[in-house]
Amino acid sequence: QVPLVESGGGLVQAGGSLRLSCTSSTRTLTSYTMGWFRQAPGKEREFVAAIRSGGGSAYYSDSVKGRFTISRDNAKNTVYLQMNSLKPEDTAVYYCAAKQTFILPTISYHYDNWGQGTQVTVSS
């Protein structure tokens, strides 16, 4: 088990930016593929972005490509999701997730470690 803690959510106006962070106080995240997912009220959890353990490869959903950037700082044992040009439709609870392979990084049930989520609300 890899306990994950997200932070950085909040309320922001459309066009603004937020940076989410995900870390673990007990496990090193260096060797894990890390993903960000989100879930809006009444909707299924959807993939946002993922980055492989080496930090070289990253995937993004079409809805956030060009606006969001996933990165990792291994020295700080932290994964980030920089969110720019936010839109009201980005409003959701954002979850950090970890798994040991980079196979199918966009599929939520391939991840076996999840954080508790952080709320992001974008006002129009």
pLDDT tens-digit series, residues 42-64: 999 999 999 999 777 899 999 99
Categorize the per-residue pLDDT at 24 as very low, low, confident or very high, splitting at 50, 70 and 90: very high
Neighbours of 124 (CB within 10 A): 9
109 SS3 class: helix
CA gyration radius, the chain: 13
| Whether pLDDT at 114 is above 90 | yes
Long-range CB pairs of 100-103, under 8 A, 24+ apart, other chains included: 100/31, 100/32, 100/33, 101/33, 102/33, 102/50, 102/52, 102/53, 102/57
Average the pLDDT over 16-28 and give the result: 96
Categorize the per-residue pLDDT at 41 as very low, low, confident or very high, splitting at 50, 70 and 90: very high
Average the pLDDT over 19-29 and give the result: 95
Q: Greater confidence, 69 or 25? A: 69
The C-alpha atoms of residue 118 and residue 38 are separated, in whole angstroms, by: 9
The C-alpha atoms of residue 117 and residue 92 are separated, in whole angstroms, by: 10
| Whether pLDDT at 103 is above 90 | no
